Amino acid sequence: MLNRAVRVSTSIALATAVLTLSESAAVAGNFGAPIGASVQSNKWVFAYYTNLPIELAQHTTWVRGNSINADSRHGLTSPGTSDHSVTDIAIDADYGSSGPQASQWGWAGCPSVSGGVCVHGHATYNTYNTNQATSGWPIRATMCQEIGHLLGLGHRYASDSCMQNLGAYYYGAHDAGHLAAQYGTVK
C-alpha cells in the first residue's frame, strides 16, 4: 500500500513536470499572420518591466483583465492556456521624438517562441507618445494591440478591432475567430 502510494505520488509529480514542459506545445500552430511565426527560429525583440506610472499600470491591468480574460467581449475564456502566452507586459521609458521609435505608440515582441507561438512575451509602450495622448484609452487600445500581436494576431485593415483601429480596445470578430482556433473558446 505504501509502495503504491509512493508510485502514485511519483507519477503525479512527474506528470506535473511533463505537463508543464508540454504546455507550450499544446498551443503550437500558426494562424493568421502572426508576428514572429513566419520564421519560427526568430527571436522577437523584448522589453522589461520598469516602474510604471500609476495610470499606465492601471490601464495595462485593465487590458489584461478585460480584453484578454473572460469578462470581456472577445476575450479569451481559457486563461489557463493563454496566460502563459503573455506572461509579462513591459512599459518602457521615453524613446523621444525622433527616429523610428518616435513613429510608434508601442511595440511588441517575444523572447520565447515555441512552435510559432509566443510563450513569454512583452509589450512596450512608448511613454513619449503616452504623454501626447493625454488620455487613458489610447493606452488601453495600444496595449490591446500589443497583446494581440503576442497572441499571434497581425495588423489588418479593418475598423472593428484594436489590431487596426486604435479607437477600439477590444478584438473584432475576425480576431476572435483566430484566437478561438488557436487557444480555444472565446467569449
Partner 1 sequence: MPSSRRVLSSALFTGAVLVLSACGAQAARTGSNTGDRTSPPSEVASSGQASASSDVVSKSSKKLQLAGPSVYRFDDLTDMLATANAVVEGEVLSVSRGVTKGQHAKYTNRNVLLKVTTLYSGTAPDTITVSEWGWDENGDEITADGWEGSKPGDRLLLYLAKGEEDGATVYWALNANAQFLLADESKPVKTGNGPDAVGEKVKALNPAALRKATVDAKKEVDAKKTPPRKPGDYLPSVSTDPTPPPGVASNPALPDMPK
Q: How far is CA 26 from CA 57, 81, 157, in A?
A: 30, 8, 30
Site for partner 1 in 68-87 (CB under 8 A): 71-74
In the list 29, 53, 136, 184, the residue contacting partner 1 (rule: CB under 8 A) is 136
Under rule CB under 8 A, residue 95 binds partner 1? yes
Binding status of residue 45 toward partner 1 by CB under 8 A: yes
Output the CA angle 62-133-52, nearest 5 degrees.
Answer: 50
H or E, element range at 118: strand 117-125
Question: Is 172:161 a contact under the CB 8 Å cutoff?
Answer: yes
CB hemisphere CA count around 91 (13 angstroms):
19
Nearer to partner 1, 82 or 130 (CB): 130
Write down the least CB distance from residue 33 to partner 1, Å.
8
Q: Which stretch binds partner 1 (CB under 8 A): 80-88, 117-125, 179-187?
A: 117-125
* Size of interface with partner 1, in residues (CB under 8 A): 94
| Residue 131: CB minimum distance to partner 1, A | 12
Nearer to partner 1, 82 or 151 (CB): 151
Query: Does residue 26 interact with partner 1 by CB under 8 A?
Result: no
Q: Which residue has the cell 503616452?
A: 130
Measured CA to CA, the distance from residue 15 to residue 127 in angstroms comes to 44
